[in-house]
Structure 1
Amino acid sequence: MQNLIPQVAAALSAGQPQQAEQLCRAALIEQPRDESLLLLLAMSLQAQQRLSEALPVYAELTRLFPTGSLHWNNYATVMVDAGMPEEARAAYAKAIQLDPGNVLPRSQLGLLLIELQDYLGARTVLLEALALAPESIEGRINAARACCHCQDDEGADGLLKPWPTWLPMHNDELQVSLAQVLTLNSDIPPAAELLEDVIARQPGHLDARLLLANLYERLNRLTDAEAMLSPVMEPGAGASAVQRNEGDHLLASLALRRKDFARARQLLEQSGPQGDDDYVHYFQLAAVCDKQGDTEMAMRALHEAHRLEARERRIDSPEYFTPLSPAMPVDAPGVTAEQYPNWPQFIAPEAHDSPIFVVGFPRSGTTMLEQMLDAHPGLQSMDENPFFNRLATTLRNHDPRILEDLSVLRQYDCDELRKLYYKMVAERILRREGTRLVDKNPLNMQWLPMIYRLFPEAKFILALRHPCDVILSCYMQSFRSRGLAAACSTLDRLAHAYVETMTRWLEQVSVLQPTLLVSRYENLVADFPQQTARIAQFLGLDDASAMLRFDHHARNKAFIGTPSYSQVIEPVNRKGLGRWHNYRREFEPLLPILEPMLLHWEYSTDASA
């Protein structure tokens, strides 16, 4: 017996699980309850992918040795592979209970909870695992993954901040995992560099190629995306059905970008969704059908996409789907006409030392405005960041009552909050000396009171577009923000969200009277030079010529982190005007909801207007 155990272990190490199984079964005839033999038998069966036979052996180990944390952990792992996630969850919990200091079952439970879309639970468990092994790079990556799924951007940033010091990693799978998490955190260029490094060593790493090809498309490097994907899709490449499906969806995206709509639709209809929850497939299909003018099929696909996405959001964000939930969830502080006169007057930056804030309901043209401003050598923009959400969290953690009445903020408080704002900015971009900062985040319009409290002399540009075109464009997108995704779950809710958000903005503007320019998308595309000059005059810019060539500037940028990344690299055009008329049947029930804003902004619903 003493000599048999090393012999079995050696067979397993040598990749001979069948021989190991035979040795174990022969020995178990005489010693059927031997712990080591049972474990090695289970491992040999698992190595042969005979999970239905390995499971009862692992179960027997937990019965015979119920206090063995390792056995419960192994049992759970095989149940995951066998498609028994809920049973695995319970077994991992038992393993943790028996050995609270063991990192392994916590880590594996956390990853399982991500698969089960219990993102908050996964974050808790994986942060606990990291606390047990704080030097673990894999632990930081796993915890950051959970934070990304929870939209805890600050938590993910903190965990991932030291990642450049981890290089070289000497572990390609861990490096791919890091690239995946950086992608989730919208750090696309460094994720691409990590994957390029892996593929230089392992050209046949199909998962790395697929992800990198997707990132190249996201970076507007279409030729590179096709070249990276091509080896994956070759008949002898050994790609799995899942990998080929993902490749087909990327090929469809590339065909759509190249305006080969028939090819894109053929690929999507042939490949189909990757699973019962693949809402991204239906968003892609809707985009292609819309381009082909098949509006009925486009809307059917959109309804299905939002049905599936809302089903997932109800799991990770149930608070947005209660009967009392507002159409557009808002956690930003407001200010009333009675409160504002009580605000103390403090020393604050002048307009030229304050950021320029570009706001508007999503899909109203804010990205185009941002790229125009960023093209000017005296201005510098950055991708969307929820800075004021984070500042509010800081205040809320200190005393939630502050957000109920911002007049309690003192000069010192405002100074410190501005310092924290600029610290967060510096973590996202390297500031160029002598430039004015452009902070573009559409839904910063919800944060006007807090922005104004810190930067009362700042200039605001409100991007405005026909409400129906805005709603159609939003409905055709899958937004990362859970609140915005919930607001887009139905056309009716989206219309109410638009009205609620715009009404709140108008109320706050009437109280605060910020320095504001309204930029209508329709006017901007109709007379681009004149409207550009108007914007430049508002901002005190002498030469607007660089802003007229924003599309050239955008094409040279490494990354544009918004859904319109593929559109702002094109010259100004009128393709986005009046699209909603193609879906007029769907929009007729929405017009009474939108009427207050249509009247306020003087937009017509007449197709000939």
Structure 2
Amino acid sequence: MITPASSSKALVESMLAAYNAGDMTNVQAMGESVRDLASADDMVLLLLGAARQATGSPESAVALFRQLVQRKPHVSEYWNNLGLAARQAGDYALAEQALDRAIELAPLQAEVHYNLGLLYAHQQRWLTARETLLQAVGLAPDFIEARLQAAYACHFCGDTRGAEVMLDGADTWPPQAADHALILATILSSLGYQDTAFRTLAQAILPEGPERPSMERRIVAMRASMFERSNQIDEAYAELSQLPLDVLTSLSPGEWELRHAGLQVHANIASRQGQLEQAATWFEQLQHERSDVHLQANAAFSVASIRNKQGRHAEAWHALDAAHAAQLRFASDFVPELLAEGSQPLDMVEHAVDRRAYDGWSALRAPRSQDSPVFVVGFPRSGTTLLEQMLDAHPAFRSMDERAFVYELIKRMQLAGQSYPADLASLTQANTDQLRDIYAGVVRRVVPDLGSRQLVDKNPLNMLCLPMIMRLFPDARIIMCLRHPCDVLLSCYMQPFRSPAFMVLCSSLERLARGYVDAFEHWFRHVEVFAPRVLEWRYESVVSRFDEHLVRLGEFLQLDDSAPMARFAEHARSKGYISTPSYAQVTEGIHRKAVGRWQAYRDKFEPVLPILRPMMERLGYSE
């Protein structure tokens, strides 16, 4: 940010006029005509430094801005300019020092917080970037660039709800520069707002000059990826016709983002079309092209998935080892405390209500069963997405994809100084009505067309939030999805989850096994306390006797006709975006391919079977 100092000199006026006209060459020429820059007017140094920075000479700009902060160390804007130039020059220590000083001098200046947040993001210090960028938004709620970058930092931190809050109203934002449009579309797509994401790309403001063709191709790659992720394979393939492989492989090193995005979507589509070896080759290339641990992990997980389909189990496990090693390096920056021995990634298991505490709950009015959501729960990778799509295919129901809205209510209680779940007992009628109103409000933003249909709230780990569900919706019907614990663990171990805590939980079979047992012990403890309306939905039984269980499901939900739910695969194909890793599988219909997959890795499971056996027996499973 350039802040003019008062000056009547003709040189300053001429330089300022050239700067405002975008003529940086002339600004430099006039500034460098000054014989003694050490004694030049502040504004001359400021304009000359900005011009050098704009024309690719940030190191020389740093020298000029150093002079300015030495002259006037109490001017925040000068420190801000020094920080920006230092970041561009690659001197991150100086950039951070300068921007910290600028914030000390002007703590309410949103733009300085924004610049510091961008520095942290550039260094991939995502937690600190998120905090700093959220501060910028707090100081200037209408600062669109800050909201976008804060959303991106939340996205990287696994804070889905934070990203959604930052992008509230993004459908009304003005067209964005192409690089910002790509970021915005990436996050919107991950949140399920596909139409807004496509519109964002269509309205992107492309750069002029030699960068334009590359940016156009990156948008094509993004569109292709979004189509594939929405199960629109023909449309994705049509987009890729503009990105042939020979073009991607001939790109310069500076265009690695385009090459990576293009090859990734080529590989995804090849895998879905059965060209497994070709897809694996491309993913292996991507795995070793960049040092970015996030990209390495995602590519390695894709390799593992393909090798597993090919029956090359040793190679699959080798790829999984690499994927989890990369994810742990990523997660260690976010949740280092969870890497300690005995840590608990599933923090909700430590919050329980016993019978005595429940007896102290006051009786409050609550919605009837038919006016409450249907909650679909279970440990991740237990078939919850399949069931969700079945329910969503029925005209009586409407799902909202996977949302953590119940968790958000718990956080709101805690932020208000209340203890969860202990203070559920002291909630008044007004308190619970307010929490239900908050829940209804966030639901309406996601499914404004809910109408008279009953909401399906599918979030597997809501199984750990039963006290909150029972306080707000005590008559709700809850469906607990079950699947062989070893198949569940294997599937979790093969997924690139975004949550850093879940990355740690899934980093080894032993951690996963203990987490699985902890989660179900917590669930059964609360089932004994609350006696909720629960239907157990067992994956293996459903795929072997689908019609029988469809009728059973309809009876539990008091439906006159359960037949529409049988057409879930067709419904899923037409629905578009599905956020979970099962987005492709649920379009294939019922099959048994996922039953007993763990047996191919039995040697890996032998050490954790003693942890699982008691819970396996309780759930009705054998080895």
TM-score, normalization: structure 1? 0.89
Q: 1:230 Cα shift? A: 4.2
Contact 2:374 2:455 in 1 (8 A): yes
Change (3 A) 1:214 1:59: farther
C-alpha separation in 2, matches of 1:37 and 1:200:
33
Q: 1:17 Cα shift? A: 6.2
Which of 469, 483, 496 aligns to 1:451? It is: 469
1:454-490 CA-partner distances (Å, limit 9, x unpaired): 2222222111111111011111112233332221122
Mapping of residues 570-585 of structure 1, within 5 Å: 570-585=588-603
1:283-325 CA-partner distances (Å, limit 9, x unpaired): 2222222222222222222222222222222222334334452
Residue 115 of structure 1 pairs with residue 115 of structure 2 = no
* Structure 2 partner of 1:509: 527
Mapping of residues 522-541 of structure 1, within 5 Å: 522-541=540-559
1:4-54 CA-partner distances (Å, limit 9, x unpaired): 6666677778888677656654534x4444345555554454444344555
* Structure 2 partner of 1:274: 290
C-alpha separation in 2, matches of 1:55 and 1:249:
39
Mapping of residues 210-249 of structure 1, within 5 Å: 210-232=221-243, 234=247, 240-249=255-264
C-alpha separation in 2, matches of 1:347 and 1:106:
46
Change (3 A) 1:232 1:99: farther
1:142-189 CA-partner distances (Å, limit 9, x unpaired): 3333444455555444443233333x4375555444334424544333
* Structure 2 partner of 1:160: 167
SS at match of 1:358: strand
Structure 2 gap segments, 5+ residues each: 1-7
Contact 2:230 2:577 in 1 (8 A): yes
SS at match of 1:326: coil
C-alpha separation in 1, matches of 2:355 and 2:147:
47
Change (3 A) 1:5 1:410: closer
SS at match of 2:536: strand
Residue 79 of structure 1 pairs with residue 86 of structure 2 = yes
C-alpha separation in 1, matches of 2:310 and 2:90:
40
Structure 1 gap segments, 5+ residues each: none
C-alpha separation in 2, matches of 1:200 and 1:39:
29
Report the number of matched residues.
Answer: 603
C-alpha separation in 2, matches of 1:193 and 1:229:
19
Which of 189, 197, 200 aligns to 1:191? It is: 197
Between 527-536 and 310-319, the greater mean CA deviation after superposition: 310-319
SS at match of 2:376: strand
1:257-289 CA-partner distances (Å, limit 9, x unpaired): 222111111212334343242322222222222
C-alpha separation in 1, matches of 2:382 and 2:336:
28
C-alpha separation in 2, matches of 1:270 and 1:253:
14
Mapping of residues 85-104 of structure 1, within 5 Å: 85-104=92-111
Change (3 A) 1:18 1:415: closer
C-alpha separation in 2, matches of 1:100 and 1:455:
44
* Structure 2 partner of 1:205: 216
1:309-345 CA-partner distances (Å, limit 9, x unpaired): 2222222233433445215222774221222333334
SS at match of 1:27: coil
Q: Which amino acid aligns with 1:222?
A: I
Q: Which amino acid aligns with 1:387?
A: F
Q: 1:237 Cα shift? A: 8.0
* Structure 2 partner of 1:489: 507
Contact 2:444 2:450 in 1 (8 A): no
1:495-525 CA-partner distances (Å, limit 9, x unpaired): 1101110111112112222222111111111
* Structure 2 partner of 1:250: 265
Change (3 A) 1:300 1:65: farther
Q: 1:601 Cα shift? A: 2.0
RMSD (Å), alpha carbons: 3.1
Contact 2:177 2:205 in 1 (8 A): no
C-alpha separation in 1, matches of 2:27 and 2:113:
30
1:525-555 CA-partner distances (Å, limit 9, x unpaired): 1121122122112222222221111100111
C-alpha separation in 2, matches of 1:177 and 1:269:
25
* Structure 2 partner of 1:317: 335
Contact 2:177 2:206 in 1 (8 A): no
